[in-house]
Amino acid sequence: MTLHLINKSPARSSALNDCLSVLEFDNNSASAILLIEDAVYAALNRSSYAYLQEKIKSLAIPCYVLKEDMLLRGLHAGLIESFSIVDYAGFVQLSIDYNKVQSWS
Amino acid sequence: MQSFTLVVYGSPDTQAASTAYNFAQALLKAGHQIYRLFFYQDGVFNACSFNTPPQDEENLPASWQTLIQEYDLDAVVCVASALKRGIVNDAEAERYDLAASNLRKGFEISGLGQLIDGVIQSDRVINFLP
């Protein structure tokens, strides 16, 4: 039950991809991913990150996007529908719902 | 109610520091507790009292100080990270014969043992990486 915290855009970091590789290997569907800061770009629909979104879909794990960071970047729409939007209060709750929080950078 | 240790690795001009600050506010607002704030590596710049940003820019170290004093939080700055970057309290300034000290009120300088203690004592540890 780990919440994986990703804070970099896939354009400049392999953090999300690395995290997904570990999760694939681990075969652990009890985990979740939260995209914060520049990582919110990974949730853009019709982006070149479709391969990452497919990986998340095939792992069948929840993926969340931090609302404040999304709005800061002007991403009001066009996010992948299967990703859920949470605010800071939701971020705090997720960190409690999962018993560990793993940060990737 | 859960207790948290937040580890801040980024200087005030990284989003990591802002995210940590926003998270700290949100968790306190939700009625949870901060066992310790631990400022590590470039995160020690959040404890500097000499920073004077332009008036129309946020002064994150000042915001941290307000939060720390309002909630009486335990805010620890890693001593090795701090000395290397020129963040010193009165005792260290005297020990190294420096012209002044610049550790902000509310913060204290201590060692990595305080991080280990935070990991052991808190329900959750969250790392905010730059």
Beta-carbon separation of A88 and B129 below 8 A: no
The H or E element spanning position A4 is: strand A2-6
B37-54 average pLDDT score: 97
CB pairs under 8 A between A and B: 47
Parallel/antiparallel/unpaired status of strands B75-78 and B3-8: unpaired
Which of B26, B128, B130 is closest, CB to CB, to A88?
Answer: B26
The predicted pLDDT at position B16 comes to 98
Q: Tens digit of pLDDT for each residue in B67-79? A: 999 999 999 999 9
Q: With an 8 Å Cβ cutoff, are B127 and A88 in contact?
A: no
In this prediction, the residues of chain A whose per-residue pLDDT falls under 50 are none
**What residues of A are in contact with residue B126 (Cβ under 8 Å)?**
5, 95, 101, 103
Ordered structural domains, chain B, with CATH: 3-128 (3.40.1260.10)
CB of B34 less than 8 A from some CB of A: no
Correct CATH for A2-104 of 3.40.1260.10, 3.60.21.10, 2.40.50.420, 3.40.50.720: 3.40.1260.10
Tell me, what's the pLDDT at B96? 97
Chain A positions touching B19 (Cβ under 8 A) are: 7, 36-37, 69
Once rounded to an integer, what is the mean pLDDT over residues B102-130?
A: 98
List Cβ<8 Å contacts ≥24 apart for B110-113: B110/B76, B110/B77, B110/B78, B110/B79, B111/B78, B111/B79, B111/B80, B112/B78, B112/B80
Query: What residues form DSSP beta bridges with A65?
Result: A35, A85
- Which residues of B are annotated as catalytic? 78
CB B75 within 8 A of CB B106: yes
pLDDT at B12: 97
Distance CA A74, CA B58 (A): 21
Tell me which of A43-52, B82-91, B94-103 is least confident: A43-52
Residue B66 sits at the chain A interface (C-beta within 8 Å): no
Average pLDDT over residues B57-66: 97
Q: Least CA distance to B22: which residue of chain A?
A: A88
B1 touches chain A (CB under 8 A): no
ipTM more than 0.85?
A: yes
Q: Where are the domains of chain A?
A: 2-104
- From CA A45, how far away is CA A79, in angstroms rounded? 5
**pTM given for the model:** 0.96
- Determine the average pLDDT of the residues in B6-18: 98
**Whole-number pLDDT of residue A28:** 61
Among partner residues A93, A96, A105, which is closest to B129 by beta-carbon distance? A105
Task: Establish if B107 touches chain A: CB-CB under 8 angstroms.
Answer: no
